[in-house]
Structure 1
Amino acid sequence: MGRHHWEQNQGQFDGEEPVGRFRLLLGRGALICVVLAVLAWLSTSLLLSPRGGGLEPLAEVPLAGTLPLLPQAPPGAVPSTRASTGQAGASGALDPSLREDVPAPTPSTDLLVIHVAGAVRDPGIYKLPSGARAYEAIEAAGGLDKDADASSLNLAALVQDATRLYVPRKGEQPGLQPPGTGPGISQAPPGSGEPDAKINVNTADAAALQELPGIGPALAANIIDFRSANGPFSSVADLDAVSGIGPVMLKRLEPLVGFR
């Protein structure tokens, strides 16, 4: 009797143990499901509404093709170095250190001594740069006079050193001018010791005398009057006796006048 009662009680205990274990596992599984559900809900809420409000649209990201293009230089234009170097001043001029050193052209030191005479406003002796033309010599002498006849002149002719450029007046015969390097331009012949076409003060009239530098109508009249009263001049020194002519003018007239 006693053994049967103990075995009956033991069988009762053995049947209750699986039921309790099942309940424990079921409770743990339910707890895990609840935790996972809460985590899923929190994750979804944070993703869809990080600030607790409604859904906000994402900001539009500009595509590469919609970016503004930089201005392009026109064909053949040289890119400016101002932006790349940063050396430009407030006035926009480049730093002198960035400029290429370009040697300045060396002016010619050769000068031509030309006697411009005839129908010009200020006849006389002028110094012109090498390669000067006839029109430049006339411009140096003040330009053509109102009664000048330049139709027989080659204004584009090159003038040479120690030459005389004569501008004829209206009515004068160009053929009467001494032969030279061109129309109206006379040059000393080779081997001669003095320039050609000197003005003969013993035969020249008032107009011819006024071609000499510094001689105007009054002084030309004094020369003619002195020549008529005292005879022809024999040298430059004789001109010193004419009223209005001094040592400075004699020095200027010496290479330009003749007495034959």
Structure 2
Amino acid sequence: MGIRENLNLERKMYVHYGSADFDRDRFKKAENEEYDVKPRGGLWGSPVDSVNGWKQWCRENDFCEINDDNCFYFRIRGWQVYEIRTVQDLQELPHIQMSEELQRFFVWHDKMLDFEVIMKDDCSYSALDIKIEKVSDELPGYDCDCILVLDDYDLVINYDAKRHNNPLTLKDLLPMKWYKTILSDIEVCGLLHTPDNKVYIYFEQPDEHYSFKSIVACISDGRIVETCGYTENEAKSVLNEILKEKDEIIKYVMDHRKD
């Protein structure tokens, strides 16, 4: 498969168990680990639609108890996801020589993925989406279908996915229409499509790390749908500013809606 070419896959949802929300301040981008085939840092998750995900693996191997309340859902925006489905996909990624210590544990392997190079230059991937079925022998220690987020600049936290099985994403609500600028540099747009006759809005703010941070929210019921770069509390604070103009923006969106 290699690089993600179908941007409809931006809707693909993943789940991370062990934390109730993504902690932006604790995230560290992936670095090569001298004594492990997996990197130091990064973020692990499993596709929610996989029958061979982390939750299933834990149950089948009596590994640990999975708490569905102690998790969060996310997706990766853009094209910078590399999909590993075959050995060839894996071979096309940069590798480095294993240390002698690692080769003692993984006697049939002498190379490992070079996560630091994968994130840079010609690659510039923010995540690796791995379907384990055909590459398990080449990736010792990778037990299930998973995604490894190398850098969080394309990480979108989706709160709707925790509420129901058909979560909304930004793509489901496009197109958008610019409304106004608030708090000096946050652009507010009305989202002109809706599957439920509610009014949704989009916020965008320039950011050095994320390029731009974003929020999708429902102004009709005041809920946060998804965020990139904002914590949930920060997103609620921004939303509260525009809720002061709730009636005006609802009228604005309804006047420009075409569906």
**Fold match (TM-score > 0.5):** no
Output the TM-score relative to the length of structure 2: 0.23
Higher helix share: 1
Which one has a bigger Cα radius of gyration? 1
Would you tell me which structure has more strand in proportion to its own residues? Answer: 2
Bigger relative contact order, structure 1 or 2, given CA contacts below 8 A and separation 6+?
Answer: 2
